[in-house]
Structure 1
């Protein structure tokens, strides 16, 4: 009997970081290789990728990496693995092109060449296993689901998908192919859960396009559009609306320029006329009623850029009276506070704000009924909800149970869980090393919980530094300790507090010098403990305390 394991290395009980390994005997097929952007409590962290230990320990088994679409949550972690390992990468034409953009940002992966462009007609033979694909509807062209056909049945991964009957041809779902897959045995279905909790019907892209065009038509001033760089469908709608109202579009973000130019070259993005795009140099010459500024911001997150525009800190654009800021992306629930704060800044600057979600529920992910329809087409024996926080996965499980799927056939894994097929049944059989790898600057995985804890403490209560010089031979403090504070108290108004801190440090060090069992580690810890207790009693705060103790020999100093 063929041995089959499904391992969620990311993308479950969290938003983003999608990565799923399907192990069939001695071959591992990796579906997506994504990152996620950090929550507010991950101070200073740029991005988060999955723990790659399992793949690195089994690198000889990895048959390939199969990508469903070109968003960062599906391709963004590739450079951190392919810089060390040569593994073939498969994806649609646009998906591979965007993956190459990510890879090109890292010196060690610029020359990687093992890319394989596939489409929904491709079938890749790996001996007893074959991998094929099917078209899905998402916010970017070239989105594909993955079908891994094994001797025991098919393991199907939907990727990001929704059902939209009015989708443009390049975004349409191939229902006939879905039915063909469902006509054979589907052992397990890994299905997108990101929108499973929402009770609202998703608006069709045609409705959204008409609304954007109407809002452009009735605004007389400048329009600043905030979008995600890789949402090609939305960018196309903005270009069409701009052309219909005789406006020119200025691209201000590096992300959007690279991705838009790539999509244009591949004919996935169509310019309504040859002069629709304007350069940043032309921005000042354009009249407000002729201008659309398309801002994606760093890493595709436009809110910070909008805030800089509203507070006159943006390098190109400052929001003025009469400007319309149009947010055509759907921020996550975690960003609601930031969205409200950004809107307030825009109104203060004299601008107006509209969002595409004011009138519609907008998402690139399937609703509850879409998820039920996918299962009704696939007839999967076992369901593995993926791509979403636990509440999304649980809502997906409830929706599937409504249409007759027993709960014992639905698995909600934790990151690292192994779901095994054994003796005709699937079950969670163990775990592999898994979790988060933090990326901070050029550092990969060198930031752990202790560093994050220290950063959190520094952000909340600041730091207090005690500098003191001692002569250990004479057992005395040479000079009165100097106390410095940053982010803890205002020094000029806290002289008495800091003076007492200096006395505590001096007394503590003297006590340790008098002790016959002198130890540097004990001395520094004693200083920290004594200061920490005193400062908490006086201020109810716990700053990071850093003792800096230097040793001199005064006799040697006098001779010199």
Structure 2
């Protein structure tokens, strides 16, 4: 009898950062290693990755990292994992190519080359465990689901998926393989919950292509197409439809160029006409009705680029009257405010906007009927909804119950929860270290709640700096107090406030100089407390107060 544990280090109760562990006896199988692009409240944070503490403590048990597809939510955290843990990485051809690109771009796991290319027919044996794969449909080619076959039954992870009966061969789901897996015992199914709440079914990608052709054909001016760089399916559709509409494509941004280059070299992105792509430098050589500008990026980056275009600040191309901005991906709920702001800026620039989501629901995630079909094909004993906010996981749990899985066999995990199969039953048995690690520039995990709180305060109420030079030997103030404010008040219009603040500081400093038990920390804290009370009374705001006290005797700043 094998002991089977399932642990989520990310991807639950959040959109992104997928990372799931299947632990069989003394072997750990890591399924995906993704990142999450931060929401607005994480001021200055570039990306968020899982906490790898548990894996670092058990790195000798790791059999490998198995990737489902090449999006950042599945491969983006690899550079940070491989920096400290040397383990083999398995994925399909395009997935591995994009994973390598991610690792090399980060510059962290220098020299790592333990990559292994698999396909849907690959089976990898690890002692008592066999890892198999099955082809799925997503917005990027070479997407697969993962099946970890144990003595107790299979643990199946779908990755991001949807069903599309008219998908092209490169994106087609292998229904036969999924059915074969379901014919044997599936102990647990970890399934994508990203669209479990939807009340509308996805349209086929063929319908999307038809809608895109009508848009391209009827537009009289330039078309600026906005999508996520890793959405290879949408980029392929733009290529195909642009050729049909007799337009040329101009690429902007290094992220897009790199992704397109990798996909084209592997034959996963096909250019229907060698002359279709034209350098952005030559855009003025073509009439407006011959031009398609493809603008992409990560997460919200395409919208940020559109905002720069609308303000005339884009490095390569800016919006003008008569342009049509075509947003071809469905934004998340968190991005709705940004989308509305961006559309307003585009209209003010004289261009117009069309959203594909205004006509169709075109998502890379399975709709409720697709989710129920996957459960019916695999027939798991236990069900674990993953990849999505809690409400999405809960909606997915209800769908599973509708197709016959009792609620007692459904687990909605949080990060770090351990779900263990023992003595013929699956139970929630404890937790391991898990959470968010914030990446800011080259800093990994050095930004915590205190720093974020200070950044929030600075962004809301600004900073109030007080500089005083003293002599303890003479018991007097030699210079100051001098006050500098940034983001709090306009100094020239607030002379009374500044003068009164200066008087308060002077009073506090002189009182402390006249005590026998002078203490630097006590002096600074009293300045903060006194100023904070006064400034809040006068402005109802609480700036960050920074006292800088210097002593003239040795010209050494005291901290």
- TM-score range for the pair, normalised by the shorter chain length: over 0.9
Task: Write the deviation string for residues 490-513 of structure 1: whole angstroms up to 9, x where unpaired.
Answer: 000101101111111111111112
Question: Per the alignment, in what secondary structure is the counterpart of residue 480 of structure 2?
Answer: coil
Partner of residue 43, structure 1: 43
State whether structure 2 residue 444 is matched by structure 1 residue 444.
Answer: yes
C-alpha distance in structure 2 between counterparts of 1:523 and 1:311, whole Å: 48
**Contact 1:227–1:300 (Cα < 8 Å) also in 2:** no
Question: Which moved further from structure 2: 327-336 or 451-460?
Answer: 327-336
State whether structure 2 residue 101 is matched by structure 1 residue 101.
Answer: yes
C-alpha distance in structure 2 between counterparts of 1:106 and 1:402, whole Å: 44
**Contact 1:319–1:349 (Cα < 8 Å) also in 2:** yes
Question: Which moved further from structure 2: 378-387 or 81-90?
Answer: 81-90
Structure 2 unpaired stretches of 5+: none
What pairs up with 1:21-100 in 2 under 5 angstroms? 21-100=21-100
Partner of residue 480, structure 1: 480
Partner of residue 525, structure 1: 525
Partner of residue 341, structure 2: 341
C-alpha distance in structure 1 between counterparts of 2:418 and 2:299, whole Å: 32
What pairs up with 1:258-277 in 2 under 5 angstroms? 258-277=258-277
Partner of residue 541, structure 2: 541
What pairs up with 1:332-411 in 2 under 5 angstroms? 332-411=332-411
What pairs up with 1:197-346 in 2 under 5 angstroms? 197-297=197-297, 301-346=301-346
| Superposition TM-score, scaled by structure 2 size | 0.98
**Contact 1:35–1:48 (Cα < 8 Å) also in 2:** yes
**Contact 1:255–1:299 (Cα < 8 Å) also in 2:** no
Q: In the TM superposition, what is the alpha-carbon distance from 1:241 to its structure 2 partner?
A: 1.1
C-alpha distance in structure 2 between counterparts of 1:156 and 1:322, whole Å: 50
What pairs up with 1:406-485 in 2 under 5 angstroms? 406-485=406-485
Question: Per the alignment, in what secondary structure is the counterpart of residue 479 of structure 1?
Answer: strand
Q: In the TM superposition, what is the alpha-carbon distance from 1:405 to its structure 2 partner?
A: 1.3
Q: In the TM superposition, what is the alpha-carbon distance from 1:298 to its structure 2 partner?
A: 5.5
Question: Which moved further from structure 2: 293-302 or 75-84?
Answer: 293-302
State whether structure 2 residue 3 is matched by structure 1 residue 3.
Answer: yes
State whether structure 2 residue 20 is matched by structure 1 residue 16.
Answer: no
**Contact 2:224–2:295 (Cα < 8 Å) also in 1:** yes
**Contact 2:94–2:141 (Cα < 8 Å) also in 1:** yes
Task: Write the deviation string for residues 307-343 of structure 1: whole angstroms up to 9, x where unpaired.
Answer: 0001100001110111010000111110000000000
C-alpha distance in structure 2 between counterparts of 1:341 and 1:153, whole Å: 50
Question: Per the alignment, in what secondary structure is the counterpart of residue 240 of structure 1?
Answer: helix
**Contact 2:229–2:298 (Cα < 8 Å) also in 1:** no
**Contact 1:202–1:367 (Cα < 8 Å) also in 2:** yes
Partner of residue 497, structure 2: 497
Q: In the TM superposition, what is the alpha-carbon distance from 1:260 to its structure 2 partner?
A: 0.8
Question: Per the alignment, in what secondary structure is the counterpart of residue 227 of structure 1?
Answer: strand
C-alpha distance in structure 2 between counterparts of 1:298 and 1:252, whole Å: 13
Question: Per the alignment, in what secondary structure is the counterpart of residue 394 of structure 2?
Answer: helix
C-alpha distance in structure 2 between counterparts of 1:62 and 1:221, whole Å: 55
Question: Per the alignment, in what secondary structure is the counterpart of residue 145 of structure 1?
Answer: strand
Q: In the TM superposition, what is the alpha-carbon distance from 1:301 to its structure 2 partner?
A: 2.6
C-alpha distance in structure 2 between counterparts of 1:520 and 1:196, whole Å: 58
Question: Which moved further from structure 2: 397-406 or 222-231?
Answer: 397-406
Q: In the TM superposition, what is the alpha-carbon distance from 1:110 to its structure 2 partner?
A: 4.5
Partner of residue 176, structure 1: 176
**Contact 2:196–2:395 (Cα < 8 Å) also in 1:** yes
Task: Write the deviation string for residues 328-369 of structure 1: whole angstroms up to 9, x where unpaired.
Answer: 011111000000000001001110100111111110000111
**Contact 1:230–1:300 (Cα < 8 Å) also in 2:** no
**Contact 1:229–1:300 (Cα < 8 Å) also in 2:** no
C-alpha distance in structure 1 between counterparts of 2:195 and 2:523, whole Å: 56
**Contact 1:226–1:302 (Cα < 8 Å) also in 2:** yes
Partner of residue 111, structure 2: 111
Q: In the TM superposition, what is the alpha-carbon distance from 1:299 to its structure 2 partner?
A: 6.3
**Contact 2:461–2:487 (Cα < 8 Å) also in 1:** yes
C-alpha distance in structure 1 between counterparts of 2:153 and 2:473, whole Å: 78
C-alpha distance in structure 2 between counterparts of 1:546 and 1:246, whole Å: 62
**Contact 1:33–1:67 (Cα < 8 Å) also in 2:** yes
Task: Write the deviation string for residues 77-115 of structure 1: whole angstroms up to 9, x where unpaired.
Answer: 000111222110000000001111101112333432100
| Superposition TM-score, scaled by structure 1 size | 0.98
Question: Per the alignment, in what secondary structure is the counterpart of residue 293 of structure 1?
Answer: strand
What pairs up with 1:128-147 in 2 under 5 angstroms? 128-147=128-147
Q: In the TM superposition, what is the alpha-carbon distance from 1:177 to its structure 2 partner?
A: 0.5
**Contact 1:10–1:435 (Cα < 8 Å) also in 2:** yes
C-alpha distance in structure 1 between counterparts of 2:301 and 2:190, whole Å: 28
Structure 1 unpaired stretches of 5+: none
Please tell me the root mean square deviation across aligned C-alpha atoms, in Å: 1.3
Aligned residue pair count: 556
**Contact 2:194–2:388 (Cα < 8 Å) also in 1:** yes
C-alpha distance in structure 1 between counterparts of 2:68 and 2:361, whole Å: 24
C-alpha distance in structure 2 between counterparts of 1:505 and 1:518, whole Å: 16
Partner of residue 509, structure 2: 509
**Contact 2:419–2:429 (Cα < 8 Å) also in 1:** yes
Instruction: Evaluate the alpha carbon distance shift between residue 12 and residue 299 of structure 1 in structure 2; reply closer, same or farther with a 3 A threshold.
Output: closer
Question: Per the alignment, in what secondary structure is the counterpart of residue 419 of structure 1?
Answer: strand
Question: Per the alignment, in what secondary structure is the counterpart of residue 63 of structure 2?
Answer: strand
C-alpha distance in structure 1 between counterparts of 2:353 and 2:27, whole Å: 51
